[in-house]
Amino acid sequence: MLSSSITSLTVVLIVVFLFKEGIGLFNQKPVEPGYVIAINKNNKVKELSSVQLKNIYDQKITHWSEVGGTHDSIVLFQLEDISNYYSDEQIGDNMQNLGSCMSRLVDSLPNIIAFFPDKYLDKKFQGTLLEVDKVTLHDFFAGKEWIPTAKPSAQLGVLPLILGTLWVSLGAILLALPLGLAAAVYMSEIANERVRRIMKPLIELLAGIPSVVYGFFGLVIIVPLIQKTFDLPVGETGLAGSIVLGIMALPTIITISEDAMRNTPRAMKEASLALGASRWQTIYKVIIPYSISGISAGAILGIGRAIGETMAVLMVTGNAAVIPHSILAPVRTIPATIAAELGETSNGGLHYKALFALGCILFLITLFINLTVEFISNRQKHNKH
Amino acid sequence: MYKIESKNVDFYYGPSQALKNINIAIRSNTVTALIGPSGCGKSTYLRLFNRMNDLIDDIKISGQVMIDGEDIYGKGINVDSLRKNVGMVFQKPNPFPKTIFENVAYGLRVNGIKDKKFIEERVETSIKQVVLWDEVKDKLKKSAFELSGGQQQRLCIARALAIQPSVILMDEPTSALDPISTAKVEELIYELKAKYTIVIVTHNMQQAGRVSDRTAFFYLGELVEYDETKKLFTNPKQERTQNYITGRFG
């Protein structure tokens, strides 16, 4: 009683913490705190979205007309460019004059966009400070780019990560399900007791191998194999991730499906065999239909394992945060992103909160999976009587 | 010629011998009851006739079991075909989790019969044979689990009849049924005798007396006595049979 309430409390606290930090993201602006983005006071543009800002600084947008201004080319300015405009003497030894230099610079160049720390914002600054929208749900979920360290504006589109995760997991389950099902059928219906007694612990042992070992195996064996087979520049691909995850999901799928099949009442099997059905007919006409809920539960839990897996995927998928267009492209998954990036973020910062929001998404996905399993196994119990 | 004949049959589960030198000959279109206390080997013996014991690991059989003069444990015997010829009804009703129709059609489908009309006709005939048609004809598409225990058991008999076997094995077919359902099944057994050879295992001696032509009494893996039912119950040759049928043990 006590231990279960402590456990529940811990889980609730973790979830609350996760969501508190994650949801905080949507109160933040994607611009680094302590920095401002300024334009000339005569510029008609008053607002830029995070994506527009990024494209301006990537020089994909080069004219103000593209963001609602005049037909002039945009003059980019970052703090290190200051020496192109003013001499060291003008700025001063301790940069004490930098503020007024900035004011004059922004005033004198009508097409400038300047990104600089707000401590150099002069009291008499005449230019317009651009408002950047807060991170929106739409930017977050539909954004196609994940560059959380981009300056001046971080790109926090999680679509590539979500798709990467689902893509790798789908591949994993497509590989693992037929194999796992075949193994389960073999173990429950074909292998004799002695073989089964050896195989079952072996397969369960497979579940106990640390994931980093799987990752290592993938990196050393599977990645070079894929690279050679498909003649790719790099072998770290979604396919490599799918294979490694598929192997990792196998024990779950096999043990759960095998248990379900073995739970098929002996009377059902005998009834089928007594009617002249062959062993295979009995397997696919009686045993598999009878244990289908258990098999689906195994498959879904296998997917759950694949979706949440971190280390092995991090090691073999190449981690390019782009929307995958083939199984032979590098992908990056949500857990791998969190693991790889959390160490480099500042506590409470934008990037930090974005990773927590990713954690929330992952949590919701796995919650959904677990509820599905629960639903299926309830229905299974219901079906039998 | 005998329909079923067993000659010097020994049977082992691992190291323990379950049947010792059993010799029985059964004629066509008769009902043979196998009786005896629990663990005497009667069910094991019944399951030899459709090789159901093959499912168990580590068994050994010696001697001959002949059906229609052919040794069913001989080389080149197709067990699936054997089981099509030797149907079986189990202790507890065990319909598949399928519809009533599909339960009866199952044996036909696994035999590769695809002709829809043929299947429909055969299902109907089989269900009529077990006198269940009037009760289920309007709910053939419903799950077989919706039927009562007695109806389920009759459905299982119909399922076995659908593939037209010549022998039907029944392993305590009424032990899970109420007296009225039991009476219906017994009546059915009596009628089915005209077309099939029936071997029935039963714990219930009155039942053996009511339905069977001949009775075999098993005790500790041995066949103690095998005779016409009337003789065996009224005038047993062996003392052990006498003691058993009068209820002194078992």
Q: Which residues of A touch B80 (CB under 8 A)?
A: 276-278
Mean pLDDT of all residues in A304-327? 86
pLDDT tens sequence across B57-91: 889 999 999 999 899 998 889 999 999 999 999 99
| Candidate from A33-37, A244-248, A339-343, B105-109 with smallest mean pLDDT | A33-37
How much is the pLDDT for A13?
Answer: 94
DSSP letters, A76-129, are EEEGGGGGGTS-HHHH-TTSTTHHHHHHHHHHH-TTEEEEEEGGG--TT--SEE
| Candidate from A48-52, A211-215, B175-179 with smallest mean pLDDT | A48-52
Can you read off the two tokens belonging to residue B115? 């002709």
Same domain? For A97 and A165 the reply is no
Q: Which residues of B touch A272 (CB under 8 A)?
A: 96, 106, 110
* A40 band by pLDDT with thresholds 50, 70 and 90: confident
Same domain? For A285 and A351 the reply is yes
Distance (Å) from the alpha carbon of A296 to chain B's nearest alpha carbon? 18
Contact (Cβ atoms closer than 8 angstroms) between residue B185 and residue B173 = yes
**Residue A71 three-state SS:** coil
Same domain? For A118 and A164 the reply is no
Residue A20 in domain: no
Residue A292 in domain: yes
Where residue A41 sits, what CATH number does that domain have?
Answer: 3.40.190.10
How much is the pLDDT for A239?
Answer: 92
Report CB contact under 8 Å: B80, A274.
no
How much is the pLDDT for A383?
Answer: 57
Residue A182 in domain: yes
Residue A66 in domain: yes
Is the pLDDT score of A385 beyond 60? Answer: no
How much is the pLDDT for A98?
Answer: 82
Distance (Å) from the alpha carbon of B218 to chain A's nearest alpha carbon? 24
Q: Which residues of A touch B92 (CB under 8 A)?
A: 267
Contact (Cβ atoms closer than 8 angstroms) between residue B81 and residue B111 = no
* A382 band by pLDDT with thresholds 50, 70 and 90: low
High-pLDDT (> 90) share of chain A, %: 36
Quick one: which of A172, A134, A128, A127 has its CA closest to A156? A134
Same domain? For A101 and A248 the reply is no
Residue A9 in domain: no
Quick one: which of B190, B200, B212 has its CA closest to B131? B190
Q: What is the torsional sign of CA A314, A320, A324, A325?
A: negative
Can you read off the two tokens belonging to residue A215? 């990752």
Q: Is B94 on the interface with A (CB under 8 A)?
A: yes
Mean pLDDT of all residues in A125-130? 82
Overall domain count for chain A = 2
Domain of residue A60 covers 35-133
How much is the pLDDT for A384?
Answer: 52
pLDDT tens sequence across A140-174: 888 888 888 877 788 888 999 999 999 999 999 99
C-alpha B49/C-alpha B37 separation (Å) is 20
Question: In the sheet where B59-67 sits, what is the strand order?
Answer: B70-71, B59-67, B4-13, B16-26, B222-228, B214-219, B31-35, B197-201, B167-171, B86-89
Integer-rounded Cα radius of gyration of chain A: 29
Same domain? For A187 and A240 the reply is yes
Q: Which residues contact B243 (CB under 8 A, 6 or more apart)?
A: B249
Distance (Å) from the alpha carbon of A260 to chain B's nearest alpha carbon? 15
Q: Is B161 on the interface with A (CB under 8 A)?
A: no
Residue A185 in domain: yes
Same domain? For A114 and A172 the reply is no
Same domain? For A113 and A232 the reply is no
If DSSP states are collapsed to H, E and C, what string results for chain B?
A: CCCEEEEEEEEEECCEEEEEEEEEEECCCCEEEEECCCCCCHHHHHCCCCCHHHHCCCEEEEEEEEECCEECCCCCCCHHHHHHHEEEECCCCCCCCCEHHHHHHHHHHHCCCCCHHHHHHHHHHHHHHCCCHHHHCCCCCCEHHHCCHHHHHHHHHHHHHHCCCCEEEEECCCCCCCHHHHHHHHHHHHHHCCCCEEEEECCCHHHHHHHCCEEEEEECCEEEEEEEHHHHHHCCCCHHHHHHHCCCCC
Residue A4 in domain: no
pLDDT tens sequence across B22-58: 999 999 999 999 999 988 999 999 999 999 998 888 8
Same domain? For A119 and A185 the reply is no
The shortest CB-CB distance from B92 to any of A267, A273, A275 is to: A267
How far, in Å, are A78, A102, A125, A299 from residue A90 at the CA level? 18, 11, 17, 69
Same domain? For A121 and A209 the reply is no
pLDDT tens sequence across A5-16: 999 999 999 999
C-alpha B167/C-alpha B29 separation (Å) is 9
Is the pLDDT score of B250 beyond 60? Answer: no
Is the pLDDT score of A254 beyond 90? Answer: yes
| Candidate from A102-106, A253-257, A275-279, A285-289 with smallest mean pLDDT | A102-106
Same domain? For A87 and A171 the reply is no
* B142 band by pLDDT with thresholds 50, 70 and 90: very high
How much is the pLDDT for A322?
Answer: 83
* A380 band by pLDDT with thresholds 50, 70 and 90: low
Contact (Cβ atoms closer than 8 angstroms) between residue A67 and residue A56 = yes
Residue A53 in domain: yes
How much is the pLDDT for B231?
Answer: 92
Where residue A276 sits, what CATH number does that domain have?
Answer: 1.10.3720.10
Q: What is the mean pLDDT of chain A?
A: 87
Is the pLDDT score of B236 beyond 70? Answer: yes
Same domain? For A211 and A312 the reply is yes
Same domain? For A85 and A165 the reply is no
Report CB contact under 8 Å: A275, B57.
no
The pTM for the full model equals 0.79
